Amino acid sequence: MEEKKKTNPKANIRLMFSFLDGAGHFFVLCILSSLLASLCELVCPKIISFTVDSVLGGMETNLPPFVERLVSAAGGTASIRAHLWIVAAAVLVLALFMGIFKYGESVFNRKGSETLVETVRNRLFSHLERLPAAWYTKHQTGDIIQRCTSDVETVKTFLSEQLTSILSTVLLIVLSLFFMYTVSIPLATVALVSIPVIVAYSAVFHGKIGERFLYCDETEGKLSAIAQENLTGVRVVRAFGREIYEVDKFTKQNDLFADAWIKLGRLMSMFWCMGDMISGLQQMIVMVYGTVLAVRGTLSVGALIAAVSYNAMLIWPVRELGRTVSEMSKAGISIGRIGDIMQAEEERDAPDAVDCDPAGGIEFRDVTFSYDGQTDVLKHVSFRVNKGETLGIIGMTGSGKSTLAQLLCRLWELPEEGGTITVGGVDIRKIKLASLRRSVGIVLQEPFLFSRDLEDNIGIGFERPAAHEPEIMEAARAASLDETVEGFADGWHTMVGERGVTLSGGQTQRVAIARLLTANPAVMIFDDSLSAVDSETDAKIRRALYEKTEDATVILISHRIQTLMAADHILVLADGEIVEEGDHAALLARNGIYRRIYDIQTGVDVDGEGGEA
Amino acid sequence: MDGENEKITHLRFFGIPKILPHLKPYLGAMLFMMLFAAGGSLIDIVFPKFQEYAINHYIADETLDTLVPFVILYVALLALQVAMNFTASYLGIRTEMIVGRDLKKKAFDHLQTLSFSYFNRNSVGYVHARVMSDTGRIGSLVSWYLLDCIWNGAYMIGAVVVMFRTNWRLTLLVLAVIPVVTAVVGFMQKKLTDANRRIRELNSRITGSFNEGITGARTVKTLVAEERMEKEFRSESGEMKRVSVMESRFRGALWTSLTVASYIALALVLKLGGDLTREQVMTVGTLSLFMSYSMGIMHPIRWIVNSISQLIMVQVNIERLTGLLETESDVSDSPEVVEKYGDMFHPKRENWEELRGDIEFDDVTFHYPDGEETILEHFNLKVPHGTNVAIVGETGAGKSTLVNLVCRFFEPTEGRILIDGRDARERSQLWLHANIGYVLQTPHLFSGTIRDNLRYGAPDASDKEIMEALRTVSADGIVERSEKGLDTEVGEGGDLLSTGEKQLLSFARAILCDPKILVLDEATSSVDTFTERLIQQAIGKVIEGRTSFMIAHRLSTVRNADVILVVKGGRIVESGTHRELLALRGYYHSLWSRQYEAEATEAAFKQFGKTEA
């Protein structure tokens, strides 16, 4: 894969750090909160052991000096013994702080991860909007979306959950152990020795189980696909009377799927239960050993209780640590996949780019263009259109008509050696992109509608479409859209696009025409924009267009002569070359291909008996 | 998740009565699962007792006399608990998967018997979600969420009982905390559920925006609308961040309140239990026991509340799935027919008569079950065997209706359809379908090899017969070009092949089962001219000697049909042969002129290209 070679690890690491912009301090705060919460949680057993031993058991206190001072301020152990609410209150205050810190941990972590995802998402989107059209033809939509969503999610999980959780878990373990050491050195040592065993057990298991998960997911995917195929192919299934076969196929995969998960489930249950067993035994060892120490008199009851609680606190994070380590996942791969997009080059203006001045007309000088570097789609095309003139282009499918139009608004970049295109006498490569596209508007052959209402779709060039209703309505009337819209229950606020009403090809084209008329650029290109409209509407729209576009320079592309015949100048394009040109009358007089098409299209012979179509 | 709006439904008793009949076979296993879970959980209650005993006996009496039986008992109990938990969770995964599997099978089998009106009413995505995800969610509800309830509920009840027996006054005080905690947790859980629903919605919106930004990139560029799109994306992206952070606040608050509640319980025990210990009413061991129980009963509340909220959410899945299972087909065979010809899954082929292929619409009136508009009114048409009927009209005009009736995908509202002179309802659907060959406009292949696909309608066909069928439609080239021949995989939906290849293979599939009635839905998608010609030739060959219905988009292909029916707005507006229809100078004539014009223009250009070269 060519893509992979391009991926630069250093750039990827830089990229990952750049994602942390504005999010990093939240993660630091999160780890800090987690640390403080753990501290509170760890101090609590201390209070209990102090209460049990010194307050209730009357043993010597063994406290750090500042706590000692606190105790004497409260009137010493005897006074506390009489007023146990003091200890209870201390526990409560501690719990309150712990609660606040835990809350902080959760919120800071999310703030960090969401800030991160937001940054990445926004950067990706704005970058995508600025990538050249050529880039899009080389990448599949589904793949790009996946990179922008699930890969971003993977990176987030890595930074916010795995990395953070490993850091705070390790801190918690270290702290717990430290506290345990302060109550009992031998017991803490037992706990310390058991940690690697449990982590390793957990990590090895989770590493192993990963593959089985993949297999289970696969069986599920296959089952889902069988159901999907059956439903989309329901006509075939019924018409061939193959229901029994389908049921057998589904049942077989369904059984495989259930069995695979049951097997995996059994394995996981086994693992968890063995884990329970190991930690249960570990806890027993700590307790029994502690009891023995207590009986021998080297450990107080309170210290035993505290050590047992510290040990219990330790065991869960240790088990989790094993899982996290083994799931430290494909974040590297995901970063690389995001990097591929981020490193693609955006469209850029030349440093000395100027604004567009469409008054001087448009000129193509010896333009030759190829998409793949092999077959030329346009060959030495030259022509000129003056301001306010209408140019017609006729040609068959694949003759290069659309390419010509898209080169003019720089959806494709004409290479240096491919000739020049000028607008107002300036090479379009030297014109600011935004300015060029604002001056040269186009209705694409396959127009795209956005998932929003009709009014918004037509007025998409405006900041607030609702404020420009008169212009939008006028353009819509010119595009013969008003009647269609009256048929919709929600009128101009009918939602279209992916999440709304599906418009027919003709309706979509008319919305796109209205959109262009609303934007009202100095140069308007209509790329086969009426192909799906019936002839009556076609004529109506054309009449309206001639009125609306009086001052504009217009390029009309079509395969219907009726659409073009009123143009000031007509090019006949075949295989990327201009084969005939002139106005309608001149072309008819030439008696060439234009004439032949004209005869066919004005319907001399349509009963089909003579035609060989 | 399913791409559909998630909503909460309220059913009687949470829909349990609706789903219970489907769960009957598993109730035994579920009961065992619950028993083992309760057992495993109750053992947890016993463990703190060990510590109590150790403190009260060994340490207080300064002896280690019963240490060996103590350890043995501990290990034995631990092993018993682990075994019980393992059994419970194994039964859990088993129940989940088997309930899911059997519900999937039920739903899938039932779908095979449903008539087309169901598939017209419901999208593939909707039905697919019923089969795949509803069943899965019901499966998890009756296994994992039930287990969570039992594990946590049993622990709470057990702990409370033991506490009561030790000191009921103190227990009552601790229990007073529970209703408050439950209310708070319930409130937070509701907020969490709402926030999560919103997050899923926003998530699919963001994916949609990426999709739009990518597929609409060209249009955005030509309109210079990058900044506007970006601004809108940023606001969506920011909303996502806001809601996610809010979710973390509820999540954090939930854990914080549980933690604080545990420590309130602890503080209560410390103060009141401490007083009792001081007064020698309670031992230190019992005090520590009390402390661990009172802290332990708070966190289970969370999981019980979570299970209940799952139950509330799964209602909608129960409703939708049972809705599917209760839907009855509008096309079904009468008991007498089933008696003689067998049903969908047990056909009695020995009683099937030969089908000749005379079809007659006898005074047929029809409207779709979900539509008001009458499409056919007292329609009469005789189609003797061997007749070639063409149906033409614009996309979406309702050309499939007649075919749907002939194939008995729908029954006439009034009147009869006669097949070989007898009412179609007198014979079974499967009998009719076994005699029909169907070629779809978007050819539908199933994943598998070419051989699997061709044998779809004729499971016993030999390779020789298959090759012959392929040759008849000139599709043998496809097989010869592929390395693996007939064993070539076609991919999901046949996507590894081109549209033209899929089309040809589906022709071969149709003629392999040598049907008496052939239905062809001609392709609209453009294939290259060579393939186009192959397909035209194939059509000519396969309709010979068969009663055929051809839904045609390209009029040039139906010129030779015996009858052409012209459909507009769902109704048949003209009928006759090509010549008769042209002579009418009506709707058919206008359709013909337009298509002819377009085709002739292309042809003229092509010819021109040749002469130039």
Coil vs helix vs strand at A495: strand
CB atoms within 10 A of CB A589: 12
pLDDT tens track for B190-203: 899 899 889 988 98
Cβ burial, residue B464 (10 Å; 0-12/13-18/19+): exposed
CB atoms within 10 A of CB B378: 12
A274 in reach of chain B (CB within 8 A): yes
Same domain, B131 and B151: yes
The pLDDT score that the predictor gives to residue A252 is: 95
CB atoms within 10 A of CB B30: 18
Coil vs helix vs strand at B438: strand
Residue B83 has pLDDT above 50, yes or no: yes
Same domain, B137 and B110: yes
Residue A502 has pLDDT above 80, yes or no: no
Same domain, B159 and B237: no
B220 in reach of chain A (CB within 8 A): yes
Percent of residues, chain A, with pLDDT higher than 70 = 94
Domains assigned to chain A = 1-180 (1.20.1560.10), 358-601 (3.40.50.300)
How far from chain centre, in Å, is Cα A566?
47
Residues of B numbered 39-98 whose beta carbons fall under 8 angstroms of chain A's beta carbons: which are they? 50-51, 54-55, 58-59, 62-64, 67, 70-71, 74-75, 78-79, 81-83, 85-86, 89-90, 92-94, 96-98
Residue B474 has pLDDT above 90, yes or no: no
Percent of residues, chain B, with pLDDT higher than 70 = 96
Assigned domain for B240 exists? yes
Residue A29 has pLDDT above 90, yes or no: yes
The pLDDT score that the predictor gives to residue B528 is: 64
CA distance B157 to chain A (A): 22
Assigned domain for B396 exists? no
- Across the interface, which of A270, A447, A574 has its CB nearest the CB of B86? A270
Determine, for residues B214 and A229 on separate chains, whether the beta-carbon distance falls below 8 Å. no
Same domain, B226 and B262: yes
Assigned domain for B176 exists? yes
CA distance B544 to B7: 54
Same domain, B123 and B246: no
CA distance A74 to chain B (A): 16
Determine, for residues B248 and A504 on separate chains, whether the beta-carbon distance falls below 8 Å. no
CB atoms within 10 A of CB B421: 9
The pLDDT score that the predictor gives to residue B491 is: 80
Residue A580, strand partner residues: A572
The pLDDT score that the predictor gives to residue B591 is: 82
CA distance B550 to B31: 59
Is beta strand B563-568 parallel, antiparallel or unpaired with respect to A426-427?
A: unpaired
Coil vs helix vs strand at A563: helix
CA distance B102 to B133: 13
Same domain, B178 and B92: no
| C-alpha distance from residue B576 to each of A195, A607, B602 (Å) | 87, 15, 29
pLDDT tens track for A158-191: 888 888 888 888 888 898 899 889 888 999 999 9
The pLDDT score that the predictor gives to residue B227 is: 87
Assigned domain for B360 exists? no
pLDDT tens track for A45-67: 888 888 888 888 777 766 777 77
How far from chain centre, in Å, is Cα B598?
43
Same domain, B162 and B255: no
Same domain, B80 and B148: yes
DSSP state of A560: -
Determine, for residues B93 and A269 on separate chains, whether the beta-carbon distance falls below 8 Å. yes
A292 in reach of chain B (CB within 8 A): yes
Q: What is the ipTM of this complex?
A: 0.83
pLDDT tens track for A310-367: 888 888 888 888 777 766 656 778 888 898 899 898 888 888 899 988 888 899 999 9
Residue B298 has pLDDT above 50, yes or no: yes
CB atoms within 10 A of CB B44: 17
The pLDDT score that the predictor gives to residue A494 is: 86
CA distance B253 to chain A (A): 6
pTM over 0.80: no
CA dihedral A204, A206, A210, A213 (to 10 degrees): 140
- Across the interface, which of B93, B256, B267 has its CB nearest the CB of A91? B267
CB atoms within 10 A of CB A546: 12
Same domain, B184 and B152: no
CATH of the domain at B40: 1.20.1560.10
CA distance B259 to chain A (A): 6
Residue A498 has pLDDT above 70, yes or no: no
CA distance B207 to chain A (A): 7
Please give the average per-residue pLDDT across A114-142, as a whole number: 90
Assigned domain for B251 exists? yes
pLDDT tens track for B394-433: 766 677 888 888 888 888 989 999 999 889 888 888 888 8
The pLDDT score that the predictor gives to residue B601 is: 78
- Among A243-257, A505-519, B523-537, the range scoring the smallest mean pLDDT is B523-537
The pLDDT score that the predictor gives to residue A466 is: 79
Q: How confident is the model at residue A10 (pLDDT cuts 50, 70, 90)?
A: confident
Using the CB atoms, write b or e for B45-70: b if 16+ within 10 Å. bebbebbbbbbbbbbeeeebeeeeeb
Suggest the residue from A406, A448, A604 to mutate for an interface test with chain B (most B CBs closer than 10 A). Answer: A448
Same domain, B46 and B144: yes
Residues of B numbered 509-548 whose beta carbons fall under 8 angstroms of chain A's beta carbons: which are they? 513, 519
Suggest the residue from A110, A115, A259, A292 to mutate for an interface test with chain B (most B CBs closer than 10 A). Answer: A110
- Across the interface, which of B93, B94, B132 has its CB nearest the CB of A227? B132
The pLDDT score that the predictor gives to residue B396 is: 61
| Residue A63 CB contacts under 8 Å (≥ 6 apart), including other chains | A50, A71
Total structural domains within chain B = 2
Domain with B214 in it: 168-281
Suggest the residue from A38, A52, A431 to mutate for an interface test with chain B (most B CBs closer than 10 A). Answer: A52
| C-alpha distance from residue A489 to each of A451, A472, A493, A503 (Å) | 17, 19, 9, 14
Q: Which residue bears the tokens 């005789």?
A: B382
Q: How confident is the model at residue A610 (pLDDT cuts 50, 70, 90)?
A: very low
pLDDT tens track for A560-601: 888 888 899 999 988 888 999 999 999 999 988 898 888 877
Percent of residues, chain B, with pLDDT higher than 90 = 27
Do A315 and A198 contact (CB within 8 A), yes or no? yes
Determine, for residues B251 and A102 on separate chains, whether the beta-carbon distance falls below 8 Å. no
Assigned domain for B444 exists? no
CA distance B203 to chain A (A): 9
Residue B391, strand partner residues: B551, B565
Please give the average per-residue pLDDT across B179-206, as a whole number: 90
Assigned domain for B545 exists? no
Please give the average per-residue pLDDT across B378-403, as a whole number: 83
The pLDDT score that the predictor gives to residue B613 is: 44
The pLDDT score that the predictor gives to residue B511 is: 83
Assigned domain for B88 exists? yes
Residue A73 has pLDDT above 70, yes or no: yes
Residue type, A466: A
CA angle B427, B430, B432 (to 5 degrees): 60
pLDDT tens track for B114-152: 888 888 778 888 899 899 989 999 999 999 999 999 999
How far from chain centre, in Å, is Cα A386?
44
Same domain, B158 and B272: no
Residues of A numbered 141-200 whose beta carbons fall under 8 angstroms of chain B's beta carbons: which are they? 141, 144-145, 148-149
Phi and psi dihedrals of B607, rounded to 5?
A: -65, -40
Residue A554, strand partner residues: A390, A524
Q: How confident is the model at residue A2 (pLDDT cuts 50, 70, 90)?
A: very low
Taking contacts as CB-CB distances below 8 angstroms, the residues of chain B near A265 are 89-90, 92-94, 96-97
Residue A420 has pLDDT above 80, yes or no: yes
Structure tokens at A281: 């035994």
Residue B521 has pLDDT above 70, yes or no: yes
User: Mean pLDDT across chain A, nearest whole number?
Assistant: 85
CA distance B193 to A558: 55
Q: Which residue bears the tokens 């008569």?
A: B353
Residue B371 has pLDDT above 80, yes or no: no
Q: How confident is the model at residue A608 (pLDDT cuts 50, 70, 90)?
A: very low
Taking contacts as CB-CB distances below 8 angstroms, the residues of chain B near A144 are 210, 214
Residue type, A247: V
Phi and psi dihedrals of B566, rounded to 5?
A: -105, 125
Same domain, B222 and B245: yes
Residue B507 has pLDDT above 80, yes or no: yes
- Among A210-224, A531-545, B597-611, the range scoring the smallest mean pLDDT is B597-611
